[in-house]
Structure 1
Amino acid sequence: MVGIDDVARRAEVSTATVSRTLSGRGPVSPTTRERVLRAASDLGYVVSSAASSLASGRTRNIGVLVPMLDRWFFSRVLTGLAATLQRFDYDVALYALTSDADERRRVFETSLRRQRVDGVIAVSMALARDEIAQLRGLDLPVIAMGGQLEGLPSLTLDEIAVARRATEHLLGLGHRDIAHIGLRPQFEGDFHIPSQRRRGFEAALADAGLALPADRFAAADFTMAGGHDAATRLLTDAATRPTAIFAASDEMAIGAILAARELGLRVPDDLSVVGVDGHDLGGFFGLTTIDQFPGRQGERVASTMLGILEEAPRPPEGLEFALVERSSTAPPAART
């Protein structure tokens, strides 16, 4: 088995120089670095993760806390996050945090205290004060993504601005009778994202001199089925049918498009629909959406963590979003 001594002999340097080169720690001239890397490549030498950890005090592992794994959004975030970390030879230790108190306690009191990670990223979840305190007690870099956590650097999306942009798109097309599919506040989860999106929607209406009548809000559960049922309630009566729907998620927006089709309505001729997220299925349904680029969110939070670990930190920035116009929105048809 090839060892560090073999690499040192091939490169004609000391083992200490090989160690500094391969760990990236300590001064090594460009010429010597190139010679060591070529020797290691020629010999097929791979750095032992255990030895590297002992030498550097690093595990090259990042702990990632997520609330669930079976939703497309989290899979996209994790794909971007893991790909970015892997380019710098970091692995991901994944912890799915459910609402079960005992399971959460084990993660914070046992799993994360085994010192098997160099930093922790919390993805789109609120944490209790004692959980945040335990993360701080690890004496490791901790970053939140998707919502503000007290005392922790956080990368956040301006949900109010997102909803305003979606609503302004419909207003700009000439729509004045716009319904909203969202979630009732008592059923909201972390960071109250549905409420923020409703506030942005109502703020855009107010700027246009409009209000949101009670019958223009329909509650759903952020699923296609929920969006379908909510849209059916809004669209069944032709006499009171809105000309457009802003859904607080792409899945609900797709459900609304399906409901409209079942009722014999043409999208966008009879009804315009806009959503939020950038869902993978959005293009298939021709859905106009506010894309929040979940893959890029993962890349951004991973890059922020790497900056801290490599001692080149940069302050967290707001996450980006953009309107993606497709065929589900158009000016309203003249009503007779």
Structure 2
Amino acid sequence: MNDATAARLLHALAAWLMRLPWRWLTSLADLIAMRSLRRNSREARVTGHNLELAYPDLLPAERAQLQQAIVRGTSRQALETLRFWTRPHAENLALIREVHGAELLDAAIARGAGVIIAAPHYGNWELLNQWLAVRTPLAILYAPPESKVGEAFLNRVRAAHGDADRVTQVRAEGTAVRELLRRLKGGGVVGILPDQQPKQGDGEFAPFFGVQALTMTLLGRLASRTGAAVLIAYCERIDARGPQFALHVEAMPQAIGDADVQASVAALNLAVERVARRDPAQYQWTYKRYSLRPPGSGEDNPYWPDCY
């Protein structure tokens, strides 16, 4: 069985499962989260270590309560995303009950100098992608999964339901920077997840929740070289009883495009942190954000060996 066939079968299975009512999917997600917490899964352990670093002033009981909420929120987000990938986009977009700042995006596009959308791992960023694709063609920078079947599945679901000519996926490797520059200089829109840890040598360290974190310089370099507008956008869950979202588009600090790289990455992390603090349970704390430490700091990987 080739990769494309396997991806089609996975898509068909996911589409069948995602026909279940939302309340069933929410209950299933909560059961998965409960099992993860009881087994002290790697995701639960990573979340625990992240909270110790980012929220050192919380009491142990408070941190445990937040850990539970995060694991539950992450589980719900995963099933929501499968649903959004396999259902008609018009149906998905109807769940966005509030939109704030759309005029900022429209004005930035009309300016014609390119637009960079920074989309943190908060709320549901796949629903955000679908909303953006309705308003404008865009290119999304993504880190390809290690599995070729997984990548074929990802390409299939993100181009589904008529978005194939609206969304271009750009692999975060090789000629990616050249492709993004070309699109921005042509007045296009580019989406980047700004809080992924880059490879050593591809970023700079800056505070994130008070802890030094290796941070991408790519977004700032693109803004500096093109003069593109930089906006931050996120799709926030607003009703725990059912899938309802508020979409936000906000301006980013001018320092994002500063020639001073340290000023740029510090401004980027501060903007992402501000979003994450709105509701920490909706942020992806299951990711090993602090595994690489500043050279010469003497700090150890905080996840080793517990989370490997």
User: Fold-level match, TM-score > 0.5?
Assistant: no
Higher RCO (Cα < 8 Å, 6 or more apart): 2
Larger Rg: 1
Q: TM-score normalised to the size of structure 2?
A: 0.32
